[in-house]
Amino acid sequence: MRFKLKDGLLLGTATAATQIEGGDENNNWARFAKEGRVDDGTSPTRACDHYNRWREDIDIMADIGMQIYRFGIEWSRIEPEQYRFDESALAHYREEIEYMKSKGIRPMLTLHHFSNPLWFEDMGGWENKRSAEIFLAFCDKVIDYMGDIVDDYITINEPNVYCLNGLFYGIWPPEKKSLSSFVKAFSNMAAAHVMAYQLIHKKRLKMGKKREETLVGFANHLRIFEPENKKNIFHRFSARFMEYMFQTAITEAMHTGKCRFPVLRRKGVRRGKYYDFIGINYYSRSTVSGIADGAKADAYHNDLGWEIYHEGLITLANRLSQKYGREYPVFVTENGTCDNTDAFRARFIYDQLSLISETDNRIERYYHWSFTDNFEWREGEAARFGIVHLDYETQKRTVKESGKLYADIIKNQGVTDEAYTKYVEPSKYKK
């Protein structure tokens, strides 16, 4: 045995509705693609056709042996017009959840994952001063329909990535380059999380659920920021500044309600604890020399040029556990790599899970990104993150070698010598 998984560690995958479902044209990303903004010209209206093929996908998950699955629901399907809720869409998601539970897979429901209904986007989206309240009405309806069968929730996925790319750098919808817009949206998303956290607990208690049965948090994109030249005072300052603006302030606001620029306090947000677990989305380390980030030239990289730096996840998990309480479990709500030919993903999974299994940090769940190749936002269909290969033309699913390794790890609760030889040994990183 090369290593055993730490006791109690649950393994699964994560997806987002817009990236896999297909068919919905009523959201900001579908319009963004229609306007020709996606790099490879593709659209989330095709994606993986998961909205129609969800049984097939869940069956594949069950065959792999997944214990947990983090997935999203499409706000624009459920509330296609403000205040008008589509009962058939709600029933669809409930049926999907019930099916995955029947297969022994524990669901984690993501309420917002980068995608907005067009009516919300055209009202100013997350810049609108009423955006948190508008989002809360959507959450209220969802919990009414699904709160009795879902225990685990992500309120908002990666608010820092959403705001930075869409409102500061302007490379995602709504394509703004404004510090003011960035601050407004950041602040409103933090408020929305705090309000949704309280709402979910309140409604679940009324349903007869015990408080400890409900787990609510957010998926927090965290990176390691390092100066490109540690002797350069400007590089050191830039690294600290980028870390603070990108993740430190929003992490504090959404966990505790403590708001500091660039997150401003909104009405109704008070100091407290707004998390039942510490959620971490982790992909890479960034080297910093200004207000943009890069990757170390002499390191291993994935097919998007991101550095492969496994140790960073453990560093961040320890840092957050120390700050927000070691009594709270850490859930790795996303971790994976872009590997378009599945040349090194098996080794990536091996290296990351071996480190997780060695640490004494209370990491209890690992959601690999992603289940299947999907529409990868601005990169479109070109960037492949899945442990299941997708032929977009035929929609045929094929479990990759890395997916077979993942199944073997779950089955044997670790990596056997045979699995290492078969899957990991041939898997090589590249620089």
Mean pLDDT on 404-429: 98
Q: Name the CA radius of gyration of the chain, rounded.
A: 20
Count Cβ atoms below 10 Å from residue 422 Cβ, excluding itself: 15
What mean pLDDT is predicted for residues 236-251? 96
State the DSSP code for 84. B
**Secondary structure (DSSP) of 300-347:** -B-TTS-B--THHHHHHHHHHHHHH-TTSPEEEEEEE---TT-SSHHH
What is the mean pLDDT of the segment spanning 38-61?
A: 99
Please state the pTM of the whole predicted model.
0.97
Query: In the numeric block, which tokens belong to residue 416?
Result: 């056997």
pLDDT band at 21 (very low <50, low <70, confident <90, very high): very high
Q: For residue range 292-325, list pLDDT tens digits in order.
A: 778 888 899 999 999 999 999 999 999 999 999 9
Query: What is the Cα–Cα distance from 131 to 73, expressed in whole angstroms?
Result: 18
Pick the CATH number of 3-424 from 3.20.20.80, 3.40.50.300, 3.10.450.50, 1.10.260.40: 3.20.20.80
Residue 431 has pLDDT above 90, yes or no: no
Mean of pLDDT values over 372-386 = 99
Q: What pLDDT does residue 136 have?
A: 99
Inform me whether the pLDDT recorded for 246 exceeds 80.
yes
Query: How many other C-beta atoms are found inside a 10 Å radius of the C-beta of residue 146?
Result: 18
CA 282 – CA 328 distance, rounded (Å): 18
Average pLDDT, the chain: 98
Percent of the chain with pLDDT over 90: 97
Query: What does the pLDDT look like over 209-220, one tens digit per residue?
Result: 999 999 999 999
Question: CA–CA separation, 407 vs 387, rounded Å?
Answer: 10
Amino acid at 198: Q
Q: Comparing 15-24, 120-129, 174-183, 289-298, which segment has the lowest mean pLDDT?
A: 289-298
pLDDT number for residue 308? 98
Q: Which helix (H) or strand (E) holds 279?
A: strand 278-288
The verdict on whether omega for the bond into residue 370 sits within 30 degrees of 0, i.e. cis, is: yes
Report how far residue 213's alpha carbon sits from residue 215's, in angstroms, rounded to the nearest whole number: 7
Q: Which residues sit opposite 368 in a β-bridge?
A: 13, 335
425 CB neighbour count, 10 Å cutoff? 12
Smallest Cα–Cα separation from 65: which of 135, 13, 112? 13
Q: Quick one: pLDDT band at residue 430, thresholds 50, 70, 90? A: confident
CA angle 337, 342, 348 (to 5 degrees): 45
User: Do residues 114 and 152 make contact, with C-beta atoms less than 8 angstroms apart?
Assistant: no
Q: What tens digit of pLDDT does each residue of 54-83 get? A: 999 999 999 999 999 999 999 999 999 999
